A and B are shown apart, each in its own frame.
Chain A
Amino acid sequence: MERNPMRRQLASMRKSLFDQGYLDEQFMELEQLLDDANPNFVEEVVTLYYRDSARLILNLDRALERRPLDFSKLDGLMHQFKGSSSSIGAKKVKAESTLFREYCKSGNAEGCMRTFQQLKKEYATLRKKLETYFQLARQIGPMESANRPK
């Protein structure tokens, strides 16, 4: 019984993630894959994403420190990053990646750096929010999570 308010809270958290543009439909696709066999699928994917993308961000940071900037390398790294971000539905992060790539293409170093900072911020924000979300979901219980309203 006491789960209801928690569930409500979870639902509203989820809704706001979408409303505020942090997540897009792809995240819903992930949720669709939840089932009894994979009750924590979404969380698993997101965790994997954060692990893998941390590595990419580190590489990007390093590449951005070099002078002169190697735009094609940056573009390549960002392409990968964008790919995985879009796979989990990280909307804002994906948008920043696209912008970053535009700057790479036009050779705009200033733009790249600025955008990357912004991207890291969005990435961190999303991560925090999702962590909170999953924490709550886990509290409600695995079965509940699996049956989370779509």
Chain B
Amino acid sequence: MTVEQIVSEGKDQFPIGMRVLAVDDDPTCLLLLGTLLRRCQYHVTTTSQAKTALKMLRENKNKFDLVISDVHMPDMDGFKLLEHVGLEMDLPVIMLSANGDTKLVMKGITHGACDYLLKPVRIEELQNIWQHVVRRKKKDRCNSGSKDKPHPDSGEDAGIGNVDNNGKLNKKRKDQNEDEDDERDENGHDNEDPSAQKKPRVVWSVELHRKFVAAVNQLGIDKAVPKKILELMNVEKLTRENVASHLQKFRLYLKRISCVANQQANMAAALGTADSAYLRMGSLNGLGNFHTLAGSDQLHNAAFRSFPPSGVLGRLNTPAGLGIRGLPSPGTIQLGHVQNSGNPTNDLSKLQSFVPGNHNTNILQGMPMSLELDRLQHNKSVGHIGELPTTDSTTVFPGSGSLVDARITGFSNNPLLGVTSNSLMLEGSSQQATSHTSVSAIGFQNGNALSDFTLIAPASNQLQDSKADSQGQASLINCNAGQIIRSAPQEWNAPRKDAPYQSHALINSSIPINSAMIQLGQCLDRNNSIFHRTTDLDSVGPLNFVDPLSIKQSEGDNYIMEPSVIEKEGYLMFQPRPHGSHVPDNTGSLKDLASAMMKQEDDLGCNGYSLRTSI
């Protein structure tokens, strides 16, 4: 449908008379904006208070077509207003600011702004804002996004709304001198722009995500901008926009994880007491860093969810390092502690204590908590993966289902098990210097399914020590788990089933799990789900590591990894098999897990807990 059509459909003289609500605390700017808008023949209402604006909008949802708001306002942050409007009224919102920093613009876009203008605003820029209204209407109407086809250059009149919105959205109006024509051209260009919607979807494979994560880690989550990430990744045909949107998701994921991590931490604490054996596994060395999502908390798990499970699997497999193996050997179990720096030292100590053999429960505890087993990790990767969510407690990435497998980058050895009640953090940090570098922490969400697997790929550093391999594997496992978990939205069972396979796949594939004990933190899955599951794990023989995992798997889903996998390495962490044995009970508490682990330990003997050995 062309704009004209829409217009004639009853918009009368649209865009003339379009009702705009302008919000800006600066009276000078507000006056100017209002005047400019009136000059464009819109129907304008101005207010200097965001709260007043919201009130007006709420009073009558159909009163306005478009909202323009300043970013910096004293009574309410512009982004917050943006969110509210987006959620409650679903109106297009344009952000306005004197500050054109990429980060801010990105923030605006991620919060849902349909455009971001720089002050001082020029009339030419305002003359086209009606397209956002049209676009949204079309989208609502056909739900397929009207922005499919980029219009031919310069579209049908000044950038018909149908024009792909990427151009508009992505366009940062830094250049104040752009005039109307330019905008039109840009729209046209945007249409052609490869990053425009038309571009074939980029599939974020494990490998790709790994690179992405590595790049982000390298830059530091704060400084990671799409352009630089793109450069570091050096992947052909990947555009900045792809990276940008991926980054956005990643950040949301991190955020999510951090929230969950908090929960996890608590759980972990409970679990921690469970089994030291588990901790032993923890000796996985090096949890290396969790690079959990480089992002800090902002990653949405949803974003990760989007990662195709296969991808996850793939990812797990790929990193050579992912060594689930790590279980046995790496002494350090790094619990995905994703805390932002601050991980409570106790946690660490706990972990550490485990590793060395304390097995005291805290493994689990530690797990969720900061897994940074310092000891274990030689690297200092422990540091937290990127900016792990700050939850203070261990943050296992709880991801709700989103598996962050990207992180798994070669774990070196220590599979970190971030087993937190809900989230299982597996950190594959392996101390082993080899490859891995990523600690993958898989945060499992306790929730029903280990939905979130966050694999935190520990920085390579981490794994310095030995266990590196396992880490990789662990991470893999994690990934799978995550996926698996993800797949099972609410039930553990569901994912479980898959999990084994998935993990399996991962594990099998290539993870040279050397030592990484990847304990799927999931094991710690909170209460029941995991524990129950883990019981099943029991069955996995060699999986020492699995214990915790097994606990989780109690139901049998092996989240953890298929037994087969385990076998491979022997220590696979997860014993997917829900044979039920293991889990001491379904309470699913970490405790159980821990005890299960202990049991396992005994039982396993063989690879025995790779944890043990690894430790």
Contact = CB atoms under 8 A, between A and B. Distances in A.
Which of B32, B97, B122 has the most chain A CB atoms inside 10 A of its CB? B32
Which of B25, B32, B119, B120 has the most chain A CB atoms inside 10 A of its CB? B120
B193 interface: no
A53 B70 CA distance: 17
Contacts of B32: 30, 45, 87-88
Interface string A8-30: 00000000000000000110011
Which of A41, A49, A51 has the most chain B CB atoms inside 10 A of its CB? A49
Contact of A83 (B39, B119, B123): B119
A38 B36 CA distance: 12
A84 B27 CA distance: 8
A84 B28 contact: yes
A142 interface: no
Contacts of A86: 98, 119-120
B98 A29 contact: no
Contacts of B122: 26, 29
B98 A83 contact: yes
B120 A87 contact: yes
A48 interface: yes
A76 interface: yes
Contacts of A26: 120, 122
A82 B98 contact: yes
B451 to A, nearest CB: 38
A79 interface: yes
B98 A38 contact: no
A84 B99 contact: no
A147 interface: no
B72 A76 contact: yes
A84 B35 contact: no
A66 B35 CA distance: 38
A36 to B, nearest CB: 13
- Main SS class of interface, A: helix
A41 B31 CA distance: 10
B29 interface: yes
A44 B98 contact: no
Interface string A50-77: 0111000000000000000000000010
A45 B25 CA distance: 15
B27 A52 contact: yes
A80 interface: yes
Interface string B21-64: 00001111101100110010000000000000000000000000
B69 to A, nearest CB: 13
A26 to B, nearest CB: 5
Given A33-B35, A33-B39, A89 B120 contact: yes
A41 B32 CA distance: 9
A137 to B, nearest CB: 18
Contact of A41 (B35, B72, B177): B35
Given A79-B72, A83-B119, A86-B120, A45 B31 contact: yes
Interface in B70-116: 70, 72, 97-99
Given A26-B122, A52-B27, 5 more contacts: A26-B120, A32-B123, A33-B39, A45-B35, A88-B32
27 contacts: A25-B177, A29-B120, A30-B32, A33-B35, A44-B31, A45-B31, A45-B32, A45-B35, A48-B27, A48-B28, A49-B28, A52-B26, A53-B28, A80-B26, A80-B72, A83-B29, A83-B70, A83-B97, A84-B28, A84-B29, A86-B98, A86-B119, A86-B120, A87-B28, A87-B32, A88-B32, A88-B120
Interface of A: 25-26, 29-30, 32-33, 38, 41, 44-45, 48-49, 51-53, 76, 79-80, 82-84, 86-89
The 8 A-B pairs of least Cβ separation, nearest first, read A83-B98, A84-B28, A49-B28, A87-B120, A86-B120, A26-B120, A87-B29, A84-B26
